Amino acid sequence: MLDWLIIGGGIHGTYLSLYLTRRRNISPDRIQVLDPYPQPLALWHHFTANTGMSYLRSSHAHNLHFDPFSLITFTRTRAGQPLANFIEPYGRPSLALFNAHSQLLIERYKLDTVREIGRAQGLQRLTNGWRVETDSGSLEAKNVILAFGNTERPYWPSWAREAQTSGANIHHLFDPTYNRTVPDGETLVIGGGITAAQVATTLSLQSPGEVTLLMRHEPRLHQFDADLGWITHQYLDNYHQETDYTRRREMIRAARHRGSMPNDIARELDQAVQHGLLNLRIDEGIHVRLADNKQSKSMTLELASGENLKADHIILATGFETSRPGGVWLDTAVSQHALPTAPDSFPIVDQRLCWSPGLFVSGSLAELEVGPVARNFVGVKLAAERIGDSL
């Protein structure tokens, strides 16, 4: 029986494996990370490549090491120095730098050797821990951390899902099986936040004048997707004093700047528009009409305003589902083991993020305790400290 099994080996799960082994001295042979992808951070690499982003939204301090200065220290080494590339404010690292530093940590601390390839499909309580059923057998551990979010569940507006079912050339940027390529013909990007702006700007440089970004609202400018006060006592004290979980959910909703982007991204977007590379429309898609000629890829998107937009290819940048992650197997575990949930169905956990003896959460599953930044990089740092306190 393992001491720790972490379910999900993306940003959160990989960080937790580093934290537990290097900060809390758990022996690497007592811990495993279960994830369907052989390499750590697979979805992170896929989504960021699809987006075409150059810099992270968060500061260099929110890197994959528990030492906030680790990434800066890396830029002073022979390997890291040529990659030293940041954007202000907050010293946000380039994606290439962040990824190289993460890869260095994975190799240095052999984080790929604690991985088990597979997908959790069930959870059984044992007298001294948990049995996790996977698609390739079962694993037993005294402690289990649920460290996955909704990153395998991209959000599809209903009109887009309907169009896709009818055979329209429409993809979600966060579909794990979709590899964005240079567009062929008129491309329509749908979405109102940083990712939509980044992918539309990237595509407009590759196919000038052939890309339209459709946003439901004017760009909403926020440096981060939740203010920095949510990492400190400034807002968290008040949040933790609130004992009504419905009110806590409302506080999270109000705090998270969904569909927002920082100034630099808005500026690049504006420049692409001003130079005639990109068309920007503020409106909302409601229905796709396919061409009568079945050979043609062309389609028409009907807009809420009554106008139409023509496209050969639609790319959704509409984020992820917001309901409780996990799906059916976790729903079953919740009812089978009477795991406590709030009215929004998210876990009610204690201060150590413990949902039931030996069962812990990170990421959006920990949101009602960690707060609005729970799913971000800094969220797993806050989560790891709390889970580590149970040792």
Ligand X SMILES: Cc1cc2nc3c(=O)[nH]c(=O)nc-3n(C[C@H](O)[C@H](O)[C@H](O)COP(=O)(O)OP(=O)(O)OC[C@H]3O[C@@H](n4cnc5c(N)ncnc54)[C@H](O)[C@@H]3O)c2cc1C
**What residues make contact with ligand X under the rule CB under 6 A?**
7-13, 34-37, 42-44, 47-48, 51, 56-58, 62, 119-120, 148-149, 151-152, 195, 363, 375-378
Nearer to ligand X, 132 or 299 (CB): 132
Q: At how many degrees (to 10) do helices 42-51 and 95-108 cross?
A: 170
Nearer to ligand X, 145 or 311 (CB): 145
Q: Which residue has the tokens 């939204």?
A: 57
CA angle 316–319–324, rounded 5-degree value: 135
CB of 80 to ligand X, least distance (A): 19
CB of 124 to ligand X, least distance (A): 15
Q: Which residue has the tokens 């022996």?
A: 27
State how far Cα 33 lies from the chain centre: 18
Separation of alpha carbons 27 and 268, rounded Å: 47
CB of 385 to ligand X, least distance (A): 16
Nearer to ligand X, 35 or 210 (CB): 35
Indicate the residue whose CB is closest to ligand X. Answer: 10
Collect all residues with Cβ–Cβ distance below 8 Å to 186 and sequence separation of at least 6: 210, 211, 212, 298, 310, 311, 312, 313
Helix H or strand E segment including 185: none
Nearer to ligand X, 165 or 177 (CB): 177
CB of 262 to ligand X, least distance (A): 10
Collect all residues with Cβ–Cβ distance below 8 Å to 210 and sequence separation of at least 6: 183, 185, 186, 187
Our separate counts of H helices and E strands in the chain read 12, 20
CB of 300 to ligand X, least distance (A): 29
Nearer to ligand X, 58 or 204 (CB): 58
Separation of alpha carbons 308 and 113, rounded Å: 52
CB of 293 to ligand X, least distance (A): 36
Question: Residues 143, 33: contact at Cβ < 8 Å?
Answer: no
Helix or strand or coil: residue 366? helix
Nearer to ligand X, 129 or 372 (CB): 372
Nearer to ligand X, 119 or 220 (CB): 119
Residue 209, phi then psi, degrees to nearest 5:
80, -5
